[in-house]
Amino acid sequence: MESTQFVSFIGSGNLAWHLAPALDNAGFIVKEVFSRNPNHAESLTERLYQAEIKATLDFSTSDSAVFIIATSDSAIQDIAREIILPDEAVLIHTSGSQPLTSLQFAATPHLGVLYPLQTFSKIKKVDFREIPLFVESSDETTEHAIMPLARAISNSVHKIGSEERKTLHVAAVFASNFTNHMLAIAQDILQQNSMNFDWLIPLITETINKSIALGPEAAQTGPAKRADLEVLDDHFEFLKGQESVAEIYKLVSQHIIDKYNPE
């Protein structure tokens, strides 16, 4: 097997948990896993065919050609400074929010990004074929290394720059993280009143499906869309004992009113 088919991972969190096996199964063999937490590295290597735990960031004798940083955003720059790489190695990160320049102090000119637009949890299986991957490269060598990796695991691969990726990541936070937090607030409200969150599941499912089918703007309903101030005031009064939640309700409702009732 050619060395260009070997990859190594720095990080063993939620993304690495899914990305490393996906690459392994596509023929890009993961040779090494480094993690600040050796137990996490061990758990990940158990999911891979022949990966070994790497104790340090010294990869100078590694057979890998591509090194993937799949860690928290705050760790990327420090890892780029500390990692010791073989000659002509390609170093990439997987962050949606961090620019390509976060790798600029690495001891290689071949830098890139492979950003999967998805939310990852170790306990929830994902199909990488359905996940859009966004690629950025510092040069042709890097692009020629990353694109085969991306295309081997995903049916949706796109080249974009750092600013475009930041735009995408901000939108993704609203679409995914904020949406999920709203569901958590709804669950809390029901639990505090001894009611069943499962009752909301058909509504949640229909809301998402309708938003996809019609577009979010056409799918919007509710008292704020109608500017029904009497209902909004009643809800705000109900939430009076939960100041932060009431403030969220008020802020989001006002934003909806302003969007759909500009006069």
Domains and CATH numbers, the chain: 3-160 (3.40.50.720), 166-260 (1.10.1040.20)
- As beta bridge partners, residue 93 has 69, 113
User: Nearest to residue 16, comparing CAs of 1, 4, 37?
Assistant: 37
Q: What is the pTM of this model?
A: 0.91
User: Nearest to residue 71, comparing CAs of 34, 22, 23?
Assistant: 34
pLDDT in tens, the chain (263 residues): 344 489 999 999 999 999 999 999 999 999 999 999 999 999 999 999 999 999 999 999 999 999 999 999 999 999 999 999 999 999 999 999 999 999 999 999 999 999 999 999 999 999 999 999 999 999 999 999 999 999 999 999 999 999 999 999 999 999 999 999 999 999 999 999 999 999 999 999 999 999 999 999 999 999 999 999 999 999 999 999 999 999 999 999 999 999 998 87
Characterize the bridge pairing of strands 110-116 and 133-137: antiparallel
DSSP state of 128: G
User: Nearest to residue 94, comparing CAs of 154, 31, 179?
Assistant: 154
Identity at 254, one-letter amino acid code: Q
User: Using CA atoms, how far apart are residues 63 and 59, in angstroms rounded to an integer?
Assistant: 9
User: Nearest to residue 84, comparing CAs of 8, 2, 169, 179?
Assistant: 8
